[in-house]
Amino acid sequence: MPTRPLPRARAHRLACGVAVVVVAALAGCTVTIEAGKGAPEPTVVKSSLGTLTVTRPLPGVLLPSRSVLVEGYVDAEDATEVTLNGAVTLPLDEQGHFSGSIAVAGDDIQMIEVGTLDLLARVQVEVDSIAPEIVFDSPAPGSFLGGEDIRFRGRVTDAHLKSFTIGSDPVRVDANGNFDQTMPVPAGAHHLRAVAVDEVGHDATGFAAFINGNFVSTYAMQPSSAVVKLGQNSLDAVADGIMPYLNSSQVAGAMIKQNPIVEEWWGRVDFLGESHGLATATVTPQNGYLDVTVAILNARIPYRLDHFLPGVITGDVTAKYIEGRVKASARVENGKPIVWINSLELNMVDFFVDMAGWPDVIDRGIVSDIARRQVHDSVVEHLAKWIPQAVNDALKDLPSGGDISVMGHTGTVKVVPSLLGISSKGIRAVVDINVRAKSRDWDLTDGAPGPLFYGHGAVPTSGTSPDIEAAVSLDIVNATAYAAWSTGGLSHRVDNVYMNDDGTPLNVGALALIVPGVRELASADSKVNVKVWAELPPVLAQKAGALVEVDVADLRVQFVANEGGSDVELFTLSVGASAPVSLKILNDTVGVHIGEYNFDADPVGIPPKGMPTGEELDTIILDLVKPYIEQYSEISGLRIPSLYGYKLYATDASLAGGYFRANGKLYVAK
């Protein structure tokens, strides 16, 4: 009787997810087909020659790779090997077991054939070898977002997605792979890692980097940005600062400007100069005014008298002691401190007018009495103009401007006093401040509304120190960082990247040990360089308790290979970095020191093959780039409002409640 093979039937997926195994056997042989009902079970094929059992893969399972491990055993006396898909031969061991891999053509539904003797099994499986892909439509890279409810939209490409999270929050993905979810996010700079995991364990990361909150114009003055309070000890330094205005050249010039001192029908008197001995000044705060006392010893003022009679009379006005005492008040007017005199008292001891060639009895007895009132009134008039001007000049620069710098990028500071108050504890000034870039990178800052504004004004100082206290708001430091970023992204390039401490340059071959795919982009011996820039400005934020952190939402770290003098991009990372902040002050300049960073790193775009992800990438890659990122370690140059011609020596500094506070001592700059 002729025989012919039975026709092979197609495998059909059952509702339970287990594939039907179709066995083709020669006619006249006994064939048994066993398929699991419920959970997948090994595939068993029997004939008169023996039994073939495929234990792996199980029918209907989802596999993570196109390289499929096939295992099982044969119970047949004449069997020595099995064949996979007619191409790969696997020997049987002494117990009849076989194990080996075969590469399938692609993803989705695949059929694997295992055959020996007259036994042939076909196992239908599904392959998903591709990791998920995450795409954010919003927030767009480099976004400045208003408010604290942020809408995240995009898609996750994977046919067998198991979970998707943004930050630590699970996000629903619909049947088409789209997600659209609004989540509350506190104001600040954020780098949120998105993680997608599929059913076979493939994972992928993406990121959303943005700054959200309330932003202000770079041209706007920030009200009450800083406060400075001067106690009695500091006002003693202010009094010392008045002393230059009491030297003879200053006084003489000022008095000559008052000429003519006297001009009547009988003649005219002009002062020709001034000289004196010791001069002192004191400034004592009272409720609502400053008590300013100026004392001059052994004053001599030469004069010239042109009278209606023939000839000219010359001589000296002298006094052993002149004391001027004023009550000076202060206020802010049009952004400038104004000092005015409430009252002035003048006392001259041993006053004498000498007329050259005249007897003393006439000088002292007649002329001095006649001239005293006129000279007295003239000196009082002069002091009434000169003392307020001297005090005003000493207080005038709270300060009006200056420069700041971050990593060599400069900005300009404009300071305008808004409040000036005097009490028995000292002078307290409140100032408005604006910080902006001197030159702006328009490509970088296009669409950037300005620095983040938390609304932390500089709180009042405690008012207990006899020296100087100052407070600068966190918002102004953020404006400083924004201004520096605006000039060029705080960018820098490192052309000497080393693998270890012995100075061995990093090349593509060495980098390929971490990221194998870079070997496809550049030659192994090409040197690797690193570019670093900030897509978004650093932001300082008040955290729990007294902790202040700097957060960088999107710091780009790009690895490039030097190929023939040109840069070939290998890959780019977006790094979210945060670090604690401490305060440093040198003289009257604020230095914000940044501590050790914590990092999250995610690839930008499609990374090279073998790129680590998640925490593995954070650990491996950032060991290389950490030294270059940590060059962002200091913001400096922001002046604490002080007094013109004075310096502040800080004795302590602290950060709390959205402001920086410093205590110190004021002294006259030499």
When pLDDT is cut at 50, 70 and 90, the band that residue 14 belongs to is: very low
Domain count, the chain: 4
Q: Kind and range of the H or E element at 657?
A: none
φ, ψ (nearest 5 deg) of residue 244 = -55, -25
Within-domain flag for 403: no
CB atoms within 10 A of CB 502: 6
> Who has greater pLDDT, 148 or 357?
148
Rounded to 5°, the CA angle 224-228-233 comes to: 165
Say if residues 36 and 18 touch (Cβ distance below 8 Å). yes
- Say how far apart CA 606 and CA 452 lie, in whole Å: 31
Identify the pLDDT of residue 19.
Answer: 31
Identify the pLDDT of residue 648.
Answer: 61
> Who has greater pLDDT, 506 or 588?
506
Within-domain flag for 600: yes
User: Are residues 148 and 123 located together in one domain of the fold?
Assistant: no
When pLDDT is cut at 50, 70 and 90, the band that residue 69 belongs to is: very high
User: Are residues 504 and 627 located together in one domain of the fold?
Assistant: yes
Name the least confident of 123-127, 594-598, 611-615, 621-625. Answer: 621-625
Residue 537: CATH number of its domain: 3.15.20.10
Say if residues 34 and 43 touch (Cβ distance below 8 Å). yes
Across 182-205, average pLDDT = 94
User: Are residues 67 and 176 located together in one domain of the fold?
Assistant: no
Residue 534 CA: distances (Å) to CA of 168, 308, 602, 656: 25, 81, 15, 27
- Say how far apart CA 574 and CA 194 lie, in whole Å: 13
Structure tokens at 335: 């952004």
Q: Is the pLDDT of residue 473 over 60?
A: yes
Identify the pLDDT of residue 434.
Answer: 87
Name the least confident of 12-26, 327-341, 403-417, 599-613. Answer: 12-26
Segment 204-225, tens digit of pLDDT? 899 999 999 999 998 888 888 8
When pLDDT is cut at 50, 70 and 90, the band that residue 307 belongs to is: confident
Structure tokens at 421: 């108050």
- Say how far apart CA 624 and CA 244 lie, in whole Å: 57
Question: Which residue matches tokens 């410093």?
Answer: 662
User: Are residues 339 and 271 located together in one domain of the fold?
Assistant: yes
CA 309, distance to chain mean position in Å, is: 79
Structure tokens at 26: 């020669």
When pLDDT is cut at 50, 70 and 90, the band that residue 413 belongs to is: confident
Structure tokens at 191: 């780098």
User: Are residues 107 and 168 located together in one domain of the fold?
Assistant: no
- Say how far apart CA 608 and CA 612 lie, in whole Å: 10
Across 405-422, average pLDDT = 75
Within-domain flag for 422: no
Cis peptide before 244 (omega within 30 of 0): no
Q: Is the pLDDT of residue 11 over 90?
A: no
Segment 580-614, tens digit of pLDDT? 887 666 655 666 677 777 888 999 988 899 888 88
- Say how far apart CA 534 and CA 23 lie, in whole Å: 63
Q: Which domain holds residue 115?
A: 32-127
User: Are residues 625 and 567 located together in one domain of the fold?
Assistant: yes
Identify the pLDDT of residue 17.
Answer: 31
User: Are residues 622 and 495 located together in one domain of the fold?
Assistant: yes
CA 493, distance to chain mean position in Å, is: 19
CB atoms within 10 A of CB 557: 24
CA 606, distance to chain mean position in Å, is: 27
Q: Is the pLDDT of residue 397 over 50?
A: no
Identify the pLDDT of residue 437.
Answer: 84
Segment 645-669, tens digit of pLDDT? 556 666 677 776 677 777 777 665 5
Of the candidates 475, 539, 542, 449, which has an alpha carbon nearest to the alpha carbon of residue 216? 449
Q: Is the pLDDT of residue 191 over 90?
A: yes
Within-domain flag for 562: yes
In terms of DSSP bridges, do strands 119-127 and 62-63 run parallel, antiparallel, or are they unpaired?
parallel
Strand partners, 603: 573
User: Are residues 74 and 155 located together in one domain of the fold?
Assistant: no
Identify the pLDDT of residue 89.
Answer: 95
Identify the pLDDT of residue 394.
Answer: 55
> Which distant-in-sequence residues (6+ apart) come within 8 Å of 1 by Cβ?
none
Within-domain flag for 20: no
Residue 139: CATH number of its domain: 2.60.40.10
Identify the pLDDT of residue 198.
Answer: 94
Q: Kind and range of the H or E element at 352?
A: strand 352-355
Whole-prediction pTM value? 0.74
3-class DSSP state of 565: coil
Identify the pLDDT of residue 116.
Answer: 95
| DSSP class of 543 | -
User: Are residues 380 and 282 located together in one domain of the fold?
Assistant: yes
When pLDDT is cut at 50, 70 and 90, the band that residue 392 belongs to is: low
Within-domain flag for 668: no
Say if residues 588 and 648 touch (Cβ distance below 8 Å). yes
User: Are residues 352 and 287 located together in one domain of the fold?
Assistant: yes
Largest Cα separation within the chain, whole Å, is 168
> Who has greater pLDDT, 634 or 37?
634
User: Are residues 114 and 201 located together in one domain of the fold?
Assistant: no
Burial-class residue 393 by CB neighbours within 10 Å (0-12, 13-18, 19+): middle
Within-domain flag for 199: yes
Identify the pLDDT of residue 29.
Answer: 36
Residue type, 294: V
Residue type, 473: S
Segment 558-567, tens digit of pLDDT? 999 988 889 9
Q: Is the pLDDT of residue 361 over 60?
A: no
Question: Which residue matches tokens 């076909």?
Answer: 122
- Say how far apart CA 351 and CA 317 lie, in whole Å: 8
Say if residues 450 and 439 touch (Cβ distance below 8 Å). no
- Say how far apart CA 323 and CA 296 lie, in whole Å: 6
Residue 331: CATH number of its domain: 3.15.10.10
- How big is the chain, counted in residues? 670
3-class DSSP state of 545: coil
Q: Which of 329, 363, 395 is the last residue of a domain?
A: 395
Residue 481 CA: distances (Å) to CA of 121, 488, 554: 68, 12, 14
CA 463, distance to chain mean position in Å, is: 31
Within-domain flag for 486: no
| DSSP class of 518 | G
Segment 635-650, tens digit of pLDDT? 665 555 444 455 666 6
> Who has greater pLDDT, 616 or 357?
616
User: Are residues 188 and 313 located together in one domain of the fold?
Assistant: no
Mean pLDDT of the chain: 79
Strand partners, 79: none
Of the candidates 614, 609, 618, 602, which has an alpha carbon nearest to the alpha carbon of residue 136? 602
> Which distant-in-sequence residues (6+ apart) come within 8 Å of 631 by Cβ?
407, 492, 532
Identify the pLDDT of residue 178.
Answer: 97
Long-range contacts of 502-509 (CB under 8 A, 24+ apart): 506/624, 508/561, 508/570
